[in-house]
Amino acid sequence: MSQYDSKLFQLEENISLGAFELTKDPKYQDNPLLKDYEKLAKHYLKLLRQTKKLVKMSDFQQLKLNQANQELQILSEQSSLAYKELNQVYSILKKDLNFAQQLQESILTKPRGKIFNRSFFAHYEPISEIGGDIYDIEEIFDKKIRIFLADAAGHGVRAALVTMIIKAEYESLKRTHYNPNELLKILNNQFLESFYSLNVFFTAIIADIDITNNKLFYCSAGHPPQYLITPGGVKPLHSNGKPIGILADIEYPLKELPFCSDDKLLLFSDGFFEQFNMEEEEYGEERLYKLVLKNRNKNISEIVKLAMSELEIFLNGSKIHDDITILGVE
């Protein structure tokens, strides 16, 4: 019983005894005020009993509140522990992602000065620490430069792991005497043979620059149109084959074009133009093409910087939706 209960009980008892004593006392039997006192006492007793009920209800609610507070305290402690564990897991994942990022960046070819008087430019911007694009620039036989760009389907860790597979498969083939179309066919068959069960695929383009003969040989596997930039205009290099990892024994036609000393080559993943602003409007290939055409007489790094600047203005604060890789040759 609470202290309020005790006091109310005592008060109730005193009023009851007082009223009882008065009604039994002969001195007050004929007193007209006695009946009024009895009525008043009964009224007070009724109020006191109601008050006692309210106090008991209040005590019960306080008990429930205390229990709820205890449960909340337990939940708070459990949440705090779970938060600490989650932070530990996040810290481990963050370290792993940072390592994966460093690993992926280490296998991307860093343009180094010039190769046969040709300059190279590369811009790589994944949507997170790691991405699904990969590229390679290599001097091969007979004064040729081989450029490879691939874009794995999807994003994040899954796509990044696929790029590691692509890199391993391509690395064993890139210095061979195969033409780009032959190389893509072999790469496709090897990829399907080893990784068909993974149900993954990627687009790719291989371009060989023949320095001696001023020629460009290229072959594309489902990749978006790339750009050959000349003083007279911009020629899209259209895809001429299906993505790698879908069907075996696909033939990839080889394309040949002049590539003179003042020509430029711009290769990129579809993330360069498949970006959306807050109004869900796509930047698009046409917008990119017009920008490149307008600025075709600038050097390749300036063209890319202008395109990225225009894309940033277009996005107006929206985050990129896909990995962006751009390779330039001039």
Task: Domain ranges for the chain, please list them.
Answer: 3-83, 108-329
End-to-end CA distance of the chain: 93
- Is 107 within 8 Å of 134 (Cβ atoms)? yes
* Four-residue CA torsion sign, 138, 141, 145, 146: negative
Residue 142, SS3 per DSSP: coil
3-class DSSP assignment, residue 7: helix
pLDDT, residue 75, reads 74
Give the whole-angstrom CA distance, residue 248 versus residue 178. 18
pLDDT of amino acid 99: 64
In the block, tokens 């395109």 appear at 307
DSSP 277: -
Class of domain 108-329: alpha beta
Whose tokens are 């008060």? That residue is 11
Task: Tell me what pLDDT residue 26 has.
Answer: 60
Are 127 and 155 within 8 A, CB to CB? yes
The whole-number pLDDT of residue 33 equals: 58
| Confidence (pLDDT) at 117 | 87
DSSP strand E in the chain: where? 114-115, 118-125, 133-139, 144-152, 202-210, 215-221, 226-230, 233-237, 255-258, 264-268, 324-329
Scanning the structure block, which residue is given the tokens 């507070």?
69
Question: What is the pLDDT, as a whole number, of residue 25?
Answer: 55
pLDDT for the residue 84 = 77
Q: Would you state the pLDDT for residue 28?
A: 52
Q: What pLDDT was estimated at residue 13?
A: 55
Q: What is the mean pLDDT of each run of 10 residues along the chain (330 residues)?
A: 53 53 55 60 65 67 74 77 73 66 65 82 86 90 94 84 89 91 96 89 96 97 97 92 93 96 96 92 95 96 93 92 92
